[in-house]
Structure 1
């Protein structure tokens, strides 16, 4: 199969149970995050944490209206990535051939689903933590936030890339 001239077929890759459950869980957490933000809005000071340094400490304060940006960005990201999940023929592959195309499509769609949900959950967590710091219930996002986030995100990517390479 010539990798430059090959027109990848569009296969119907239905969502696995895991993907449906993960999407549902993320939607529930996302909705709860928005409900929480609405519930505490009146209690928030005008200035809330707007940025954290690598140690998890607040290094910029901004308007509480900036809190609205995180759910908006998360929703746009989720919609876009859900759209891309439906088109695995557009994704990049290293070892695609007639014998493994279905596996590679499923693997790529699952990777995209996991990263999408991790990102949305990350945005919800950050928004929630900003509220906690602004209300004086926490001092920072914590020093472990960055290493844990990077480990989870890159760990997921590495897992699926290795899985793809092993399934030539």
Structure 2
């Protein structure tokens, strides 16, 4: 890390503001899902799924508390990283003139990643709870695949956009 990098404040864009709303809503929904369904949940719930979406691991309903805790931790951690773009990793061609462009793109990648992860955790929590209440041991793998594809797209598009910065 180069401590001589310019420190530039990057304003949130409409996209990142909207993503923050969705991500925060995802975390809130996840917490509410667990809290509102806690008394109805069986003592054993699916905790792991194979590539086909079939449950292949079960545990106490208390394991459901792990998902919101991890999601909140990641959301806070990535939020801190997002606010310090001068500490991110950049190519050697970073200069005082192009730093705002690099920083803005890096902040967008971190922001979207943070919020997609929050929504993905909410999605998984919803399906685990729904399955536990309905006696189903299935996770909709297509929805999960969409979140993973979105994560890769955000990173790839961001890296391509950064590669075009002069």
- How many residue pairs are counted as aligned between the two chains? 165
Query: Is there any run of 5+ residues in structure 1 with no aligned partner, and where?
Result: none
Task: Work out whether residues 54 and 146 of structure 1, in 8 Å CA contact, stay in contact via their aligned partners in 2.
Answer: no
- Look up the SS of the partner of 2:134 in the other structure: coil
- Look up the SS of the partner of 1:144 in the other structure: helix
Which residue pairs with 1:160 in the alignment? Answer: 158
2-structure distance, mates of 1:29, 1:62: 23
Which residue pairs with 2:56 in the alignment? Answer: 59
Note the aligned Cα RMSD (angstroms): 1.8
Task: Give how far 1:129 is off.
Answer: 0.7
Task: Work out whether residues 56 and 141 of structure 1, in 8 Å CA contact, stay in contact via their aligned partners in 2.
Answer: yes
Which residue pairs with 1:141 in the alignment? Answer: 139
TM-score by length of 2: 0.91
Task: Work out whether residues 108 and 160 of structure 1, in 8 Å CA contact, stay in contact via their aligned partners in 2.
Answer: yes
Which residue pairs with 1:46 in the alignment? Answer: 43
Corresponding position: 1:124 with 2:155: no
Deviates more, 1:127-136 or 1:21-30: 21-30
The within-5 A match list for 1:89-128 is 89-94=86-91, 95-128=93-126
Query: Is there any run of 5+ residues in structure 2 with no aligned partner, and where?
Result: none
Corresponding position: 1:88 with 2:85: yes
Which residue pairs with 2:27 in the alignment? Answer: 30
Task: Work out whether residues 120 and 144 of structure 2, in 8 Å CA contact, stay in contact via their aligned partners in 1.
Answer: no
Task: Give how far 1:68 is off.
Answer: 0.6
Task: Work out whether residues 56 and 146 of structure 1, in 8 Å CA contact, stay in contact via their aligned partners in 2.
Answer: no
